[in-house]
């Protein structure tokens, strides 16, 4: 963590010119990259690491071989005061990065508290002395503070941080140990050469810049590794949710079988012992059990839909994440987490509004479009006289039709690919249409028949059963039909699904 500032040597040696240019460019790129990733993910590790790179860049900028050529111009100027204070800043910012990267608040809470207070104190005292030194035109007090207070404190915390890093799980501490050790060795070398060998080749700043390069490579690898750990943690959480859903489904099916068995047993018993006068009572009891079984079947189908939908979304996003594009990975993970939350919320109720259903479908399409390289044109058009929030329907009822349009209709189509949802009112009914310009159901079936292994699609059968159960419970008259679209020559030009809501 030690950096040199006792005497700044402006050097025009070729190796210094090249390495300064490379490091300045690298710091600028890292600053911009961290800012972009933080704006999408809100991960504080990127915020502090970006600020550290920016302050380091401002520290190196006055030492540019393209701006200064005489040592005295720099050393006697007031830039020297900022040189000291900027080192205080980027030392502290780097420790803030360590704090977030290693999750010290969770793994070393006491050290986290003490470290945070010390860092704020170092920056505050350094800032006050910097302003005071500039005001009185004497940098000695700031120099004494930097050399005999700030550096010893930072060095001590660096040693303890290296010790603490050994106890951090998931091998995250190793990145800090390697990066900090290499950086400090090179920084101390630069500091020593500044004090005792300022004019020898290579220039002291060459060692310092080399330390920054090595440290940046190690820390960026560490950030990439941490993102991978976060992604695996999210995937494990989703798998646990799916397993829990499967267990709930199994319990509900067992309960349904038990209810049906008890119903038949009681019905047989009643028929054998009751007289004709008990027929009405038996009928009432039978209807009560049928309603309970119908409700349980509706719950069972909804639990089957959610894992089915989650697996499709995971398969879509997994393909994009394998490409190791961290920025987009974070962006789509946020989309995916919102989608999962919406699905879980919809599973808690018998029905959701059409407005919520369209929001879920739009999130689903955003994720599915990854696998199509974002080449599918998707649009939703709602008649302004219709209020989607007032229409209730079974949750995720539209998803299997969107999925079929994507994977059986548009997947094999060449050229422009379109899918749209249009909602309008016809007489007393609300008509929702899902239209695609795919290859059509007949050709899709032919392609499916050619495959040696064919998996039966359960989505449409589930949708039909869920609508039937929903109608029975809610006393509605919902229905849907599938229309094969033809062009003027009679060739297949797509498929349209028509939903009728009353």
Domain-located, residue 255: no
| Contact criterion met (CB below 8 Å) for 212 and 240 | no
The count of other CB atoms within 10 Å of the CB of residue 451 is 8
Q: What is the 3-state secondary structure (H, E, C) of 98-141?
A: HHHHCCHHHHCHHHHHHHHHHHHHHHHHHHHHHHHHHHHCCCHH
- The CB-side HSE value for 430 (13 A sphere, CA atoms) comes to 20
Q: Which residues pair with 486 in a beta bridge?
A: 492
Query: What average pLDDT does the segment 367-378 reach?
Result: 82
322: tokens are 């394998």
Q: What is the pLDDT at residue 451?
A: 60
Question: Concatenated DSSP letters for 436-467?
Answer: E-SS-HHHHHHHHHHSSS-PPP-HHHHHHHHH
> Between residues 377 and 83, which one has the greater pLDDT?
377
- The pLDDT confidence band at residue 265, using thresholds 50, 70 and 90, is confident
Query: What average pLDDT does the segment 337-343 reach?
Result: 82
Q: What is the pLDDT at residue 108?
A: 86
Same domain, 215 and 290: no
- The pLDDT confidence band at residue 58, using thresholds 50, 70 and 90, is confident
Same domain, 204 and 302: no
Residue 190 scores a pLDDT above 80 = no
Domain-located, residue 244: no
d(CA 144, CA 155): 16
Domain-located, residue 204: yes
Domain-located, residue 70: yes
Q: Can you give the pTM of this predicted structure?
A: 0.43
Domain-ending residue, one of 207, 229, 251: 229
- The pLDDT confidence band at residue 117, using thresholds 50, 70 and 90, is very high
Give pLDDT tens digits for 274-333: 666 665 665 665 555 455 545 544 454 454 445 655 676 666 667 666 776 667 777 777
Same domain, 204 and 314: no
Query: What average pLDDT does the segment 209-231 reach?
Result: 75
Same domain, 84 and 211: yes
Q: Which residue is it, tokens 């820390």?
A: 219
Query: Closest Cα partner for 118 from 154, 82, 144, 161?
Result: 154
Same domain, 218 and 297: no
Query: What average pLDDT does the segment 469-496 reach?
Result: 90
10 Å CB burial of residue 53 (0-12, 13-18, 19+) is buried
Same domain, 489 and 362: yes
Q: What is the pLDDT at residue 500?
A: 94
Alpha helices, H only, 137-168: 140-145, 151-165
Query: Closest Cα partner for 499 from 400, 410, 398?
Result: 398
Q: Which residues pair with 420 in a beta bridge?
A: 379, 435
Give pLDDT tens digits for 144-170: 898 899 888 988 888 887 777 777 777
Residue 468 scores a pLDDT above 50 = yes
Distance spanning both ends of the chain, measured CA to CA: 71
Query: What average pLDDT does the segment 30-47 reach?
Result: 84
Residue 23 scores a pLDDT above 60 = yes
Domain-located, residue 277: no
Q: What is the pLDDT at residue 101?
A: 81
Per mean pLDDT, which range of 218-222, 314-318, 329-333, 437-441 is the poorest? 314-318
Domain-located, residue 245: no
Domain-located, residue 254: no
Query: Closest Cα partner for 226 from 167, 171, 166, 181?
Result: 171
> Between residues 387 and 341, which one has the greater pLDDT?
387
Residue 178 scores a pLDDT above 70 = yes
| Contact criterion met (CB below 8 Å) for 18 and 202 | no
- The pLDDT confidence band at residue 100, using thresholds 50, 70 and 90, is confident
Q: Is 306 helix (H, G, I), strand (E, B) or coil?
A: helix
Question: Residue 352's domain spans which residues?
Answer: 282-501
Residue 372 scores a pLDDT above 80 = no
Q: What is the pLDDT at residue 423?
A: 95
Q: What is the pLDDT at residue 4?
A: 37
Q: What is the pLDDT at residue 479?
A: 93
Q: What is the pLDDT at residue 458?
A: 61
| Contact criterion met (CB below 8 Å) for 80 and 8 | yes
Say if strands 352-353 and 479-486 run parallel, antiparallel, or are unpaired: unpaired
Same domain, 322 and 433: yes
Same domain, 360 and 465: yes
Q: What is the pLDDT at residue 128?
A: 93
Q: What is the pLDDT at residue 316?
A: 63
Per mean pLDDT, which range of 45-54, 175-184, 423-432, 484-493 is the poorest? 175-184
User: H-helix or E-strand containing 293?
Assistant: helix 279-322
Domain-located, residue 149: yes
The Cα-based distances of 466 to 41, 342, 366, 471 in angstroms read 38, 19, 26, 8
CA 189 to chain CA centroid, Å, is 41
For residue 146, what is the DSSP state? I
Residue 368 scores a pLDDT above 50 = yes
Q: What is the pLDDT at residue 252?
A: 81
d(CA 278, CA 275): 6
Same domain, 393 and 469: yes
d(CA 96, CA 372): 41
Same domain, 104 and 170: yes
Q: What is the pLDDT at residue 288?
A: 57
Q: What is the pLDDT at residue 248?
A: 83
Same domain, 183 and 292: no
Query: What average pLDDT does the segment 404-413 reach?
Result: 86
Same domain, 184 and 290: no
Task: Collect all residues with Cβ–Cβ distance below 8 Å to 108 and sequence separation of at least 6.
Answer: 102, 164, 167
Domain-ending residue, one of 196, 229, 262: 229
- The CATH number that applies at residue 440 is 3.30.565.10
**Dihedral over alpha carbons 72, 74, 79, 83 (to 10 degrees):** -110
Domain-ending residue, one of 229, 250, 265: 229
- For the chain, the domain total comes to 2
Query: Closest Cα partner for 21 from 218, 206, 217, 216?
Result: 206
> Between residues 207 and 308, which one has the greater pLDDT?
207
Task: Collect all residues with Cβ–Cβ distance below 8 Å to 85 and sequence separation of at least 6.
Answer: 126, 127, 130, 142
């Amino acid at each position: 963590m030690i950096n040199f500032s006792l005497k700044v040597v402006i050097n025009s040696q070729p190796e210094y010119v090249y390495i300064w240019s490379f490091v300045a460019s690298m710091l600028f790129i890292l600053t911009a990259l961290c800012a972009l990733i933080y704006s999408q993910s809100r991960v504080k590790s990127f915020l502090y690491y970006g600020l550290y790179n920016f302050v380091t860049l401002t520290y190196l900028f006055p030492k540019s071989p393209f701006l200064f050529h005489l040592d005295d111009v720099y050393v006697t100027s007031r830039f020297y005061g900022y040189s000291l204070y900027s080192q205080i800043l980027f030392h502290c910012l780097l420790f803030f990065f360590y704090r977030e990267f290693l999750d010290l608040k969770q793994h070393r809470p006491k050290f986290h508290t003490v470290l945070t207070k010390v860092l704020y104190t170092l920056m505050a005292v350094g800032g006050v002395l910097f302003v005071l030194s500039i005001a009185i035109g004497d940098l000695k007090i700031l120099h004494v503070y930097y050399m005999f207070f700030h550096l010893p404190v930072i060095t001590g915390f660096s040693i303890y941080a290296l010790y603490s890093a050994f106890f951090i799980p998931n091998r995250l501490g190793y990145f800090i140990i390697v990066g900090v050790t290499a950086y400090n060795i090179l920084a101390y070398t630069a500091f020593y050469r500044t004090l005792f060998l300022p004019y020898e080749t290579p220039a002291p700043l060459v060692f310092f810049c080399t330390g920054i390069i090595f440290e940046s490579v190690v820390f960026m690898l560490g950030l990439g590794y941490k993102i991978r750990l976060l992604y695996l943690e999210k995937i494990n959480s989703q798998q646990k949710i799916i397993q829990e859903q499967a267990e709930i489904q199994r319990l509900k099916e067992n309960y349904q079988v038990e209810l049906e068995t008890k119903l038949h047993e009681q019905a047989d018993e009643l028929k054998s012992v009751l007289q004709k006068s008990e027929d009405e009572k038996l009928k009432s009891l039978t209807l009560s059990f049928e309603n309970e079984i119908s409700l349980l079947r509706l719950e069972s189908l909804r639990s089957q839909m959610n894992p089915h939908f989650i697996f499709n979304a995971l398969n879509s996003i997994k393909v994009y994440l394998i490409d190791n594009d961290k920025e987009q990975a974070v962006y789509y993970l946020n989309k995916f987490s919102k989608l999962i939350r919406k699905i879980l919320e919809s599973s808690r109720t018998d029905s959701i509004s059409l407005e919520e259903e369209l929001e879920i479908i739009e999130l689903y399409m955003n994720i599915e479009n990854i696998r199509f390289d974002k080449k599918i044109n998707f649009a939703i058009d709602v008649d302004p006289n219709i209020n989607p929030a007032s229409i209730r329907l079974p949750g995720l009822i539209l998803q299997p039709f969107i999925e079929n349009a994507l994977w059986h209709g548009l997947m094999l189509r060449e050229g422009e690919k379109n899918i749209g949802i249009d909602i309008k009112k016809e007489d007393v009914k609300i008509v929702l249409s899902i239209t695609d310009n795919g290859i059509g159901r007949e050709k899709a079936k032919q392609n499916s028949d050619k495959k040696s292994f064919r998996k039966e699609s359960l989505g449409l059968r589930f949708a039909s059963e869920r609508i039937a159960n929903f109608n029975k419970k809610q006393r509605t008259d919902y229905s849907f039909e599938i229309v094969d679209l033809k062009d003027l020559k009679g060739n297949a030009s797509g498929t349209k699904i028509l939903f009728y809501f009353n």
